[in-house]
Each structure stands twice: as structure tokens, then as C-alpha cells.
Amino acid sequence: MNRRLIGLMRKEFIQFFRDKALVLLILYTFVEIAICGWALTLEVRNMPIAVYDGDRSAESRALVDAFARLDNFRLVAQVDRPGDLDRLMDEGQVQFALVIPPDFSRDLQAGRTAQVQLLLDGSNSSIAGQAMAVTAGLLRDYNERIILARVERVGQGGHGFLPRVRNQIRIWYMPQLKYVHFIMLTMLAISVLLLGVLVPAAAIVREKEAGTFEQLMITPITGVELIAAKILPMILLKLVGLTIGVAMSMWLFGVPLRGSLWLFYGISVLMFLSSSGIGVLMGTIAQNMQQTLLLAFFILFPLAFLSGTMVPISNMPRAMQWLTYLSPLRYYVEAMLGIFLKGIGLEILWPQALALAIYGLALLGVSTLRFRRSLA
């Protein structure tokens, strides 16, 4: 490393760390991830429910108990009139209500299929769908017990002759389907992208606005050196932030690390390169800080969106699936989930690493060319 580059980097370090608020905010971004990990989940848990029991029999109470016992639901109201349920739902106090008709126990005892009604707030379709699935599971167990008892009572076919299939579902990589593991990792990835793009872009535009850019241009510093000096201090800071984030995920939230931490850091540096590439290119295009920041907003959202962090890629419309290949975050998230949760290594993840490297080098190359052109 030559002295020119070192001098330039010293200047960048000093300049960068002078804005204390900025440094704190960057570190805080990684801390905020922890709040998300703690709070956010897409699974139905503690969902407030209300019940109208028109039968008031031992059977109906047993059914209500079965609902209330699940972690998914929390019984908040038992109403005397079915009409009260409407009010509770309109006010948003409950999203789910169970109506048990007066002839419930009579039907059950007679061996007829007893019907209960579920009122569901369908606004949030995925929550409503999950609540229905939970109910289906509950009734499956309930019904199976009753059917087995009936068959046994009649003696027909006997206990030993019931052809059935049991499907043991095993969830790989995340046996308890802990949403927190997923969200910690993806939020971390999004922060890497966000800061990776914003900070270098802002650093370049600041020089432009201050007019010091011209001064740098007439020094013997080359475009490559300039970019390297701008990027390296930030990469160091981001590595610190990333380490905080990873440490929190692993120790506070129990995110497993099944693969190699070194591989993860290696791929993270590649991700820093490609996100800096986007940022530097933006810095060469935008005229002032406001434009830069708004442009960053404009670009970051689609990039974050098209990565599979908010929606699994396989759920997207076909055209959008193709677009995801344009987002470096896609490769990074795949690598990250692969290393942490699946424990896979470079032998599977090399395409992702390669894509990130090419992405970064290509963008940084274009930016250097643009610098040179503005020099000429």
C-alpha cells in the first residue's frame, strides 16, 4: 500500500468519525435489529378470540377449553348474545370468534356431525389462513379421539384394523420454525445493504458539494485509490457493526451457526464491495446530497424487496423472480441463511459468492471509469 493511499485514508477516517451522530446511528441500526428480532413474528400467537356458547353443555365447554389451551389463542370474551361478537370484531378487539349452536351436544350424542361457526376477520389474509389451519388441527385431534372411541364401542373391525396414514412432518434447519432466527439474519442483511450503499454515496457527494472533489482531481491520486480510500474505513466500521449484530443474534436469540464464520465474513466483505459499488456509482451520478439520498431510497427498496427477505422468491410472479437476480441482497441472504441455518459451505455457495464479487467489481469498475472521464 503506498503512502498516498494511506494519507488519503487517514483523511477519510478523520472525516468520517467526526460526525458523531452518524457513527452512532450506524451502530444503532445494528442494535435496532435486536428489537425486531424480539418483537416480530408472522405466526399466530396470543390471538385474541371471543366465544358465544349457545349450548352451555359439558361438551361445548370442553371444546372452548381446547381452544383456550392453545398458545395460538387467548380467550378474551365470552358473550351472551351472538350479536355482541359483531361489535367486538368491528372494533378490532378480536379477529376470531367461535359460535357454538344450542344443539351442539345433542348432535354429538346422536352421532351426527355437530357444526360450529368460526367468524374470522379476513383483513390480514395470512393471519386468517393460519387461524383456520390451527382450528383444523385442533378439530382433527378432537375428531380422531371421538371416532376411535366410536369404532371401538361398536367393535366393528376392532381396534387393530384401521388403515391410516400418519405423516410425520420434519422441519429442516429450523425445527421449531423460529421466526426470530430468520428475521434476525435478514434484518442484518438489509442493514448491510442499506449502510453499504448510503455511506459511500454520501461520502463522495459531500466532496462534490464542498468543492474539494476538484482539488482531489488535480492531485496525482488515481480513481482507484480514491475509491479504495473512501470504501475501506467504512468496511471496517461495518465489520464492527456486523459483529455486534451477529453476536446479538447468536447470544440473545440463539441463532445457530452451523457453517463457517470465516466464510460468512468473507462473503460479507464481498457484499460490502457490491453494495459500495452501487453507492459509489450513485455518488458519481447525483449532483447533490438530497438527490443522492432520495436516489438511494429509490434504489434500496426494490433491492431489499427483490431479495426474498420479505417474501419468499418462489411466491413472486415469474417476472419478478427474474428481477431478483439483479439484487445483490438475494445472493447475500441465500449465503447467510445457508451458512447459519443449513450449515452449507462454499461448495454449494460458490455461485452466490461469485455473483457478489462480479457485481461489486463491475460497478466499482464503471465508477472508476466515470471518475476518469470527469478528470479528462
Partner 1 sequence: MSGVVSILKKEFREIWRDPYTLGIAIFLPLVLLLLFAYALNLDVKDIPMGVVDLDRSPESRLYIQVFVNTGSFDLKYYPATPDEAKRLLDRGKAQVVVLIPPNFSRTLAGGGTAVVQTLVDGTFPTSARVVQGYVDAINDAFTARLLAEHFASLGPGESLVAPAVMAVPQIRYNPALKSANFIVPGLIGVILMSFPPLLSALAIVREKERGSIQQIFVSPLRPWAFIVGKLIPYMIIAFGELVLILLTARYWFRVPMAGSVWLFLLASVPYVIGTVSIGLLVSTLTRSQLAAMLLALVLTFMPSFLFSGFMFPIFTMPTLLQIYSYFFPARYFTEITYGVFLKGVGLEVWLTQLAILALYTVALVTLASLRFKKKVG
**Orientation of helix 328-337 relative to helix 261-285, angle to 10°:** 170
Does 341 engage in binding with partner 1 (CB under 8 A)?
A: yes
Closer residue to partner 1, CB minimum distance, 25 or 375: 25
- Give the C-alpha distances (Å, rounded to integers) separating 200 from 277, 292, 297: 9, 11, 14
CB of 10 to partner 1, least distance (A): 21
Least distance (Å) between residue 368 CB and partner 1: 23
* Minimal distance, residue 46 CB to partner 1, in Å: 5
Piece of the chain touching partner 1 by CB under 8 A; list 168-176, 218-226, 240-248, 362-370: 168-176
Question: In which element (H, E) is residue 321 found?
Answer: helix 318-323
Half-sphere exposure for 219 (CA within 13 Å, toward CB): 14
The label of the residue with cell 386468517 reads: 128
In angstroms, rounded to a whole number, what is the distance separating the alpha carbons of residues 15 and 199?
Answer: 12
Distance in Å, CB of 183 to partner 1, minimum = 9
Identified binder of partner 1 from the candidate list 17, 142, 322, 325, rule CB under 8 A: 142
Scan for cell 353443555, then name that residue: 57
- Which of these ranges, 38-46, 228-236, 247-255, 262-270, lies near partner 1 under the rule CB under 8 A? 38-46
- The H or E element that residue 76 is part of is strand 73-79
Q: Which of 6, 7, 17, 25 binds partner 1 (CB under 8 A)?
A: 25
**Cell numbers for 92:** 378490532
State in angstroms the smallest separation of the CB of 222 from partner 1.
Answer: 26
One residue of 1, 58, 91, 220 binding partner 1 per CB under 8 A: 91
C-alpha–C-alpha distance, residues 113 and 104, integer Å: 9
The neighbouring-strand residues paired with 53 are 100
Site for partner 1 in 108-127 (CB under 8 A): 108, 111, 113-127
Distance CA 353, CA 322 (A): 19
Per-residue binding string, partner 1, 253-292, x by CB under 8 A, is ------------------------------------xxx-
Applying the rule CB under 8 A, the residues between 182 and 201 that interact with partner 1 are 182, 198-199
Which of 1, 83, 167, 220 touches partner 1 by CB under 8 A? 167
4 binds partner 1 (CB under 8 A): no
Q: Interface with partner 1 includes 2 (CB under 8 A)?
A: no
Structure-block grid coordinates of residue 360: 461489486
How far is the first Cα of the chain from the last one, in angstroms, to the nearest whole number? 26
8 A C-beta contact, residue 77 and residue 123: no
| Contact flag: residue 132 with partner 1 (CB under 8 A) | yes
